[in-house]
Amino acid sequence: MKLTPEQTNIITGWVAAGDSLSAIQKKLADELKLSMTYMDVRFLVDDLNLSLKDPAPKADASDVSKVPPQPAAASPAAEADLPEGELPPEDLPLDDGAGAPVVTVEVDKVTLIPGAMASGTVNFPGGVTGKWIVDNQGRPALTDVSQPGYKPSQETVQAFMQELSAAFQARGY
For residues 96 and 20, membership in a common domain is answered with: no
Say if 138 falls within a structural domain.
yes
Q: How many domains does the chain have?
A: 2
Say if 33 falls within a structural domain.
yes
* Contacting residues for 27 by C-beta, under 8 A, at least 6 apart: 14, 19
The dihedral sign for the CA sequence 83, 85, 90, 94: negative
pLDDT at 168: 82
Are 136 and 160 contacting, i.e. CB atoms less than 8 angstroms apart?
no
For residues 95 and 135, membership in a common domain is answered with: yes
pLDDT at 10: 92
Closest CA to 42 of 11, 10, 17: 11
Give me the average pLDDT of each 10-residue run along the chain (173 residues): 88 90 91 90 89 65 49 43 46 49 80 81 86 85 84 85 85 76
For residues 98 and 156, membership in a common domain is answered with: yes
Alpha-carbon span 156 to 124, nearest angstrom: 7
For residues 42 and 99, membership in a common domain is answered with: no
Closest CA to 157 of 134, 133, 124: 124
Closest CA to 103 of 167, 59, 169: 167
* Contacting residues for 139 by C-beta, under 8 A, at least 6 apart: 61, 62
pLDDT at 14: 92
For residues 35 and 87, membership in a common domain is answered with: no
Alpha-carbon span 122 to 131, nearest angstrom: 6
Say if 140 falls within a structural domain.
yes
For residues 105 and 145, membership in a common domain is answered with: yes
Say if 157 falls within a structural domain.
yes
pLDDT at 79: 43
For residues 118 and 160, membership in a common domain is answered with: yes
In which domain, by residue range, is 21 found? Answer: 5-47
pLDDT at 62: 53
pLDDT at 154: 86
